[in-house]
Amino acid sequence: MEPEALIGTSTMSWGRTISEAEFTLLTDLTWLVAALHTDEEYMKATPFGTRILAAPLVLALTLGLAVSTGVRQKMLSLDWTLKAIVGLENVRFLGPLKIGDTLTVETKFKEWRATSKEHRRILVMQQTGRNQNGQDLIDYQQLVLFEKHQ
């Protein structure tokens, strides 16, 4: 199978439930300490009803969780090595991630982009993070540089 065969296909990550401890640790480590993320009493009176994880952390979690889709292993089997994430495009935050939510990531393989070096290509993947109810929480394109073994 050639790498082009991936285009048009998709894969799902496994699920990851976000605990109170993880939520608090991530919030504390990043100092994203607005009331949205730290004040349960304040948040009870908002449409969210509870604390929500800061958007940049939702992005970080989906990037990490997307690794479980097996993209890297598929490309290695085709003699291509992942070199770097080179960009994110069209990042949209669509819904809140709350304590106790289970996050999954769907990865759709959109296109290959050429680079200035023939043995390197950029894979464009559309990634969507969802909660356990199927609600889209985040959507973006991830650009990943791959290099063909020589």
pLDDT digits (tens, 9 = 90+) for 12-71: 999 999 999 999 999 999 998 899 999 999 999 999 999 999 999 999 999 999 988 877
Assess whether pLDDT exceeds 80 at residue 73: no
d(CA 137, CA 150): 40
3-state secondary structure of 126: strand
pLDDT band at 80 (very low <50, low <70, confident <90, very high): confident
75-92 in b/e burial notation, b at 16+ Cβ within 10 A? beeeebebeeeeeeeeee
Q: What are phi and psi of 94, to 5 degrees?
A: -110, -20
Whether 107 contacts 127, CB under 8 Å: yes
List domains and CATH numbers for the chain. Answer: 3-17+53-148 (3.10.129.10)
pTM listed for this prediction: 0.90
pLDDT tens digits, one per residue of 103-148: 999 999 999 999 999 899 999 999 999 999 999 999 999 999 999 8
Residue 147 in contact with residue 119, Cβ under 8 Å? yes
Among the listed residues 82, 54, 73, 81, the one whose alpha carbon sits nearest the alpha carbon of residue 138 = 54
Pair type for strands 80-93 and 102-114: unpaired
Over range 64-89, report the average pLDDT. Answer: 85
Q: DSSP assignment, residue 19?
A: -
Cα(45)–Cα(38) distance, integer angstroms: 14
